[in-house]
């Protein structure tokens, strides 16, 4: 495996300057997800048009249209090449270009949006902006494959206790990043609705299954990672080069039918319990934007003796990222009363047992070739306490302890009409501007009759 030096972990540069401001006024608004230090990517078009989807970059409450930007005379060289790749109906071509091209475009756009940009530049850039309130989003990439991992030891232990009280954590967990291949075709962008799944379930006390609509529908609070440049079949990606293969991160909800899952998962793992829907946020947050929020990999068991291909000084010192996450629930009755989603969990990606780099390195160590636009899920990102549990299965202790909502309703699992909203952000007072992920939202419809 290649062992040449890498830029992992990403170093800070002028685009991370917390004092930098933009001439786009909304980029300075308190609590904005999209300051000039951020500049995430999405695929969008105007809400009331039939125009083609194309790539864009968020700044404040605006979207910078990459197609319009390429038609200006404001970019050249590698930055222009990257913008042209990003102006297509998916970001796959941009993802394939790699970190140097991504960074060139990010730095160029940073300069064009900076308060110090000339009046002429600002006027030209104004022609490339669309209000986010007036656009709709598409999936940011053509997703060829989707792999979901299981990187939270707290989630693995909490779930294990429900089914194996005497042996909650399987012995391989602390040695190997566990994952399974999910269904790419049912990944949808935030804002969609989906029908409650159906399948075989084994009722309590029964000896034969029945065909039924899922009665134990759950969410899973995760992050998704989009793969950038591919690796050739048979060529593993070394740990300290692994993040050079990651274009960026998004929010991900891995919906789960727990009653279907309980019957089908032995011996080959999830199938119909997972393949009916996965929701992701439209915005992809680049690894460069996340550089100020690096943190050491800290494990509750203190384990440091990973196998050699999963171990490096850089990964141990700064392989984790402090991405704050929460999940809110709004029932149909709450929305009719004008109530906002009630936050039931707040946690952080820094609690993950396995890092993003370890996920990529393990996925490819056997020669598996990842493709540009492939999606990796982190698995449910539960933290060390129950209020940081990233799934209802954990929060309600298997459906035994209902979650109470502000209007007096309760939930053990999700009901028809429920809307689930995930949010993510990075914040480190005094050293960086807040970097937000936007939201990941979906609503549950009744099952087919």
DSSP class per residue in 174-238: TTS--EEE--GGGEEETTEEEEPPEEEE--TT-SS-EEEE-SSEE--EEEEEEE-S---TT-PPP
Percent of the chain with pLDDT over 90: 92
**Crossing angle between the packed helical segments 99-113 and 119-126, to the nearest 10 degrees:** 110
CA–CA separation, 40 vs 67, rounded Å?
A: 16
The pLDDT of residue 6 is above 80: no
Average pLDDT, the chain: 95
- Closest of 281, 217, 220 to residue 253, by C-alpha: 220
Q: Would you state the pLDDT for residue 164?
A: 87
Is residue 155 part of the annotated active site? The answer reads yes
- pLDDT tens digits, 333-362: 999 999 999 999 999 999 999 999 999 999
Mean pLDDT value of segment 392-401: 96
> Choosing from 155, 342, 351, 362, which is the catalytic residue?
155
Mean pLDDT value of segment 401-421: 98
180 with 148: CB under 8 angstroms? yes
Percent of the chain with pLDDT over 70: 98
Confidence tier at 431 by pLDDT (50, 70, 90): confident
The pLDDT of residue 3 is above 50: no
Confidence tier at 194 by pLDDT (50, 70, 90): very high
The pLDDT of residue 52 is above 70: yes
**Model confidence pTM above 0.75:** yes
Higher pLDDT, 80 or 49: 80
Confidence tier at 166 by pLDDT (50, 70, 90): confident
304 with 174: CB under 8 angstroms? no
Confidence tier at 8 by pLDDT (50, 70, 90): low
- pLDDT tens digits, 292-320: 999 999 999 999 999 999 999 999 999 99
DSSP class per residue in 365-404: TT-----TT-EEE------SSGGG-SSHHHHTTTTTSPEE
Neighbour-count burial of 289, counting CB atoms closer than 10 A to its CB (0-12 exposed, 13-18 middle, 19+ buried):
buried
Confidence tier at 10 by pLDDT (50, 70, 90): low
Q: Would you state the pLDDT for residue 316?
A: 97
Distance of alpha carbon 325 from the chain centroid:
10
The owner of tokens 């125009």 is 51
Q: Would you state the pLDDT for residue 390?
A: 97
- pLDDT tens digits, 233-261: 999 999 999 999 999 999 999 999 999 99
132: DSSP letter: G
């Amino acid at each position: 495996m290649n062992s040449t030096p890498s830029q992992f972990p990403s170093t800070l540069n002028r685009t991370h300057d917390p004092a930098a401001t933009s001439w786009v006024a909304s980029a300075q608004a308190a609590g904005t997800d999209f300051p000039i230090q951020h500049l995430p990517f999405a695929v969008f078009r105007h809400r009331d048009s039939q125009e083609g989807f194309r790539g864009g970059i968020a700044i404040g409450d605006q979207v910078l249209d990459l197609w319009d930007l390429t038609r200006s005379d404001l970019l050249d060289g590698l930055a222009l090449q990257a913008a042209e790749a990003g102006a297509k109906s998916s970001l796959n071509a941009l993802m394939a270009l790699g970190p140097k091209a991504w960074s060139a475009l990010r730095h160029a756009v940073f300069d064009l949006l900076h308060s110090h940009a000339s009046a002429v530049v600002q006027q030209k850039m104004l022609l490339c902006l669309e209000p986010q309130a007036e656009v709709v989003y598409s999936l940011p990439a053509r997703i060829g494959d989707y792999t979901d991992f299981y990187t939270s030891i707290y989630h693995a232990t909490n779930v294990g206790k429900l089914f194996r009280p005497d042996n909650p954590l399987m012995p391989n967990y602390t040695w190997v990043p566990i994952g399974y291949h999910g269904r790419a075709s049912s990944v949808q962008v935030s804002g969609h609705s989906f029908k409650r799944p159906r399948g075989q379930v084994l009722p309590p006390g029964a000896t034969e299954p029945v065909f039924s609509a899922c009665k134990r529908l759950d969410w899973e609070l995760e992050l998704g990672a989009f793969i950038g440049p591919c690796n050739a079949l048979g060529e593993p990606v070394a740990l300290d080069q692994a993040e050079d293969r990651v274009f960026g991160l998004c929010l991900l909800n891995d919906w789960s039918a727990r009653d279907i899952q309980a019957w089908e998962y032995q011996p080959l793992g999830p199938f119909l319990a997972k393949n009916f829907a996965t929701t992701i946020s439209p915005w992809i947050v680049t690894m460069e934007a996340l550089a100020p929020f690096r943190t050491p990999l800290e494990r509750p068991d203190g384990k440091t003796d990973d196998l050699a291909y999963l171990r490096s000084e850089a990964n141990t010192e700064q392989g984790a990222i402090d991405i704050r996450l929460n999940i809110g629930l709004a029932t149909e009755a709450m929305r009719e009363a004008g109530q906002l989603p009630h936050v039931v969990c707040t946690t952080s990606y820094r609690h993950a047992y396995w890092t993003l780099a370890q996920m990529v390195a393990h996925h490819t160590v056997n020669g598996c070739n990842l493709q540009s636009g492939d999606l990796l899920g982190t698995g449910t990102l539960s933290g060390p306490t129950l209020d940081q549990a990233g799934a209802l299965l954990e929060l309600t202790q298997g459906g035994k302890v209902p979650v109470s909502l502000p209007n007096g309703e309760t939930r053990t699992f999700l009901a028809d009409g429920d809307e689930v909203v995930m949010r993510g952000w990075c914040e480190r007072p005094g050293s960086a501007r807040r970097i937000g992920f936007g939201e990941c939202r979906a609503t549950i419809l009744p099952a087919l009759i």
